[in-house]
Structure 1
């Protein structure tokens, strides 16, 4: 799994950089027809499916396992803080694995952007996609706490953003409104994920430990780096959405 992850991320970065060089020589956009619109529709529907599956599985897991929880533990606390020793198996982690695989479908958008707009290579977009693939794998591999809430938040945002992109690409929405809507979803996602991180940290010290805080620390650093990139590119007005 690690070799596949590293090879996939490396290949996506190499292909993006190669396409950027080749298309700079061409200087003409490549017509993709309905492919980008279909891609946006597929991601929106897939994200909605993962959201529904994760939500239903979490409800079932809470119902079936709550009987041996501590009396002072609530379902929300379980969503934020997995018990120590939790293994990545069962229905919740099935949807976590589906979310991880769905991240590779998102990477295709970078290639579409390069083909349609030669010379528009975005370091932010490439790094952002690679970072999300890595983070989703770490959530699954190490049974990281709070991943259920993070996946629910992200799949809602992706379902909305890519549904809006689909409407834009087929002419149902104005192109000029896309940037503000996508940024609004990004900001909402950053705020909710920050809340999950803070909640996890509080429960970790208050309730005697949450599963896999090592991966949480790595993800926090990675999230901070991506957030700095977002702010930097937004300030320069150079973000490709």
Structure 2
């Protein structure tokens, strides 16, 4: 085999090796591209899942915030309604308080009322000796009916008439001032045992408080319906 033949064979071998190398390279490239596409798809899907999860998380947060805000607004509305109801009830009580101020202006009626309040207090306490307090403006009325009240109590309770000392040192507050400043009393009396441990507050203000507490469910029902009673 001469040099030309040897050279020819070497060239053929080189072409063959090159062709195999190219084919192998193509296979590697195709395989690498497939693996790249698969990995890329996996990464894209993973990112999509992350985005969906993040979106769902934020959506839940928004939903929770909406529920919290709605609950807060609902509670605020309820508080406003309850406050408005309480204000109306308080206004009614205030109006009633102003109405009872007129009672002491009718002297004949007020004297009889004071006597009844004293008798009622005596029947509650059933003490042989008591202290009585009244407004300074009512002192004359109380003195004028005190004996009559004691006798009426003694007859009803079937006991001796009690000893009642009119407290001339400490009077009940006067009727309310127009400017509303200071403590006040619309009228009535306060009875206490001799040692001061047992007290019966039978003022018009105290009676109004008692009646208002007793009637409050009925008042609220009439004003605001069954749900507010």
Rg larger in structure? 2
Higher strand share: 2
Task: Tell me the TM-score normalized by structure 2.
Answer: 0.22
Structure with greater contact order relative to length (CA < 8 Å, sep ≥ 6): 1
Task: Tell me the TM-score normalized by structure 1.
Answer: 0.21
